[in-house]
Chains A and B, each alone.
Chain A
Amino acid sequence: MKNNSPGSPVDIKTTKPATNASKTDKGLSLTEVGIKNSAGREMTKLSLTFPPRSFNVILGRSNAGKTNLMRVLAGLDKPSSGRIQYDGIDVTSQSVRSRDIAMVYQEFINYPTLTVYENIASPLRVKKLSKQEIKTRVEHVANLLRLDKFLDRKPKELSGGQQQRVSIARALIKEAKYIFLNEPLANLDYKLREELRIEIKDLLRKQGATVFYATTDPIEPLFFDDYILLMKKGTILQYGKAREIYKNPANLDGMLLYHDPPVNVITATVKAKRLSHTLSAEKIKTTLSDGTYKLAIRAQHMTVIASRSKSIKLIVTPSKPFSLKVTLSEVRGSQTLIHLENKTNPTVLSLVTGVHLVNIGATIDFCFDWDKVCCFDETGQRISQFLA
């Protein structure tokens, strides 16, 4: 599922987003934009370009500033400084009304006094299109979102998923160039979330709009499989293609944010070009200078050694085997997440395929692949080459 397919490592920071569009299609760009959060604190100034027709997932925990960023991008809030351009045209002081945008909120925002039909039709009615055209377009969108049976109802008479579909329909029918979705699935239950996620991906792809999608769910960037913007406490950690950032996170914060289950962070020390860590007693050759470092190992890369020879063969650069004690095991669908510990690490996680009933207190032998370990310096910045 999330296996790293081989590919050339790219330094995301220097990669310019690919633009294959005409001169007027320049995407959305920010120049030195200052954003104030709800508490009035200024976020770091942003200079960034979102390519046209890209699907940008903005990933961050709550209070990371996703909503603030989105509101400034859409024009609902004014930036405290800097310029925002849509397709090269400065829109910083343009009103929301005159911008070609659509927005979907977390809280199923519809017009309660209007019927579903009137709700979906409202952006077109304002544009004064003919009744016949409105009807055809509303029916088309309603069909796509499976709302055709509820057109005469009021939004409050629908289920949560249907209400959110109405607001997505309202966003789609406008055929806006920029669509903003602020955690649109957060208030839905698990099954509906999965369903609607697939629908959103499908429909928005066909629209050809530049999409901004804020979420707290680390699996969504890979699901939508385009661009990702990682945010933490009002700062941008990294922006680039979701797959590449998954493989090559620029910093530890970004890697921790953009992975589920949590990534294991192991302390490592380097002395005289030898790296030792707290999982096993091995000392391996390194190019790093003396000091403390952090090794990040994803839970699925903590491999259980069932019969020693077999599984190690699959690993390119296996670590020395080590034993860990089981403290908890949780079955997640068809996978088992085992919580482990040793003397220095109170929680180490290992994700194993299949449903396994593991006894608490048992000892299991593990190893990991050095090729898949990410190394970070003390400030959390990635060191891409560390093995000698």
Chain B
Amino acid sequence: MKFKKRYILLILYLLFLLMPIYWLMNMSFKTNEEILGQFSLFPETFVWDNYITIFTDASWYSGYINSLIYVVLNTIISLSVALPAAYAFSRYEFLGGNHLFFWLLSNRMAPPAVFLLPFLNFYSSIGIFDTHLAVALAHTLFNVPLSVWILEGFMSGIPKEIDESASIDGYSFPKFFVKLFLPLIAPGIGVTAFFCFMFSWVELLLARTLTTVNAKPISAVMTRTVSAAGMDWGLLAAAGVLTIVPGILVIWFVRNYIAKGFSLGRV
């Protein structure tokens, strides 16, 4: 095949985009000596040791488990709160509805650091500091507004006549909502779950501050890995690779709806 000039930019773009990820993977299979010692595009001595350490050492893998627990917990809480709220915003007109919608969204604009101190103090005093629930609840402050916004867009795309038809046909509201309505906005729920998952997974500040030992997330584990022997580069790189994996998996499932999700269901 003839090489076309217009591919040059594309190749450069991919190179710059994938370079850091490639280098991370490259490092994760090297020994610390090789990482620090020489420049090599491929690992000269290919080792799995870094990954084995992560999967066998409880202080490492528990970080992943903790993260997953509060991320899933947060996604469930956010969705179950946002679904009814979004339905109300999309179907009913009520006094101050538009203002409430905007106010809800403006929550999302505040920097997480603002809420750090109140959360820390409040959770300590009611005794849920350093639990998965603490982080999950803290993240709902940011995820619920976004979820309501995305879901409202998807729901508004469903004609109201379907709701009416269902009640004419004799469906009770809960039955209609679960059996007919939720399947209709399934892509929206998927996209919303993705956004909740991603925010919660990468959020560092709240997750690290509200936990110490029992619910310590992977992001915190990674940033505290300076041992007496210095930095363990290979191990850090392996942990980094493993941190990317869940995101890739989730994206894979909702890839067809992401664009619609970014435009908040209004495509």
**Chain A residues within CB distance 8 Å of chain B:** 74, 76, 95-97, 101-103, 105, 107, 109-114, 122-123, 126-127, 167, 170, 174
Contacts and interface: CB of A to CB of B under 8 A. Distances in A.
A110 B164 CA distance: 11
B164 A96 contact: yes
A112 B184 contact: yes
A74 B168 contact: yes
A167 B166 CA distance: 12
Contacts of B171: 97, 122, 126
Main SS at interface, chain B:
helix
Nearest to A114: B180
Interface of B: 159, 161-162, 164-172, 175, 180, 183-184
Nearest to A112: B184
A160 to B, nearest CB: 15
17 contacts: A96-B164, A96-B168, A97-B167, A97-B171, A101-B168, A102-B168, A105-B161, A107-B161, A109-B161, A109-B165, A111-B165, A111-B166, A111-B184, A112-B184, A126-B169, A127-B170, A167-B165
A113 B183 contact: yes
B169 A109 contact: no
A27 B167 CA distance: 22
Contacts of A96: 164, 167-168
Contacts, number: 48
B164 A111 contact: no
A97 B162 CA distance: 13
Contacts of A107: 159, 161
A76 B170 contact: no
Contacts of B169: 122-123, 126, 170, 174
A111 B170 CA distance: 14
Contacts of B167: 95-97
A101 B180 CA distance: 20
Nearest to A71: B164
Nearest to B186: A113
Q: List the 10 closest A-B pairs by CB distance, nearest first.
A: A126-B170, A113-B183, A123-B169, A109-B161, A97-B167, A96-B167, A105-B161, A109-B165, A103-B168, A122-B169
Interface centre among A101, A126, A127, A167 (most CB of B within 10 A): A126
A103 B165 CA distance: 7
Given A111-B184, A113-B183, A126-B170, 7 more contacts: A97-B170, A109-B162, A109-B165, A111-B162, A113-B184, A127-B170, A167-B165
Contacts of A95: 167
A122 B168 CA distance: 11
B172 A97 contact: yes
Interface centre among A101, A110, A111, A113 (most CB of B within 10 A): A111
Contacts of A111: 162, 165-166, 180, 184
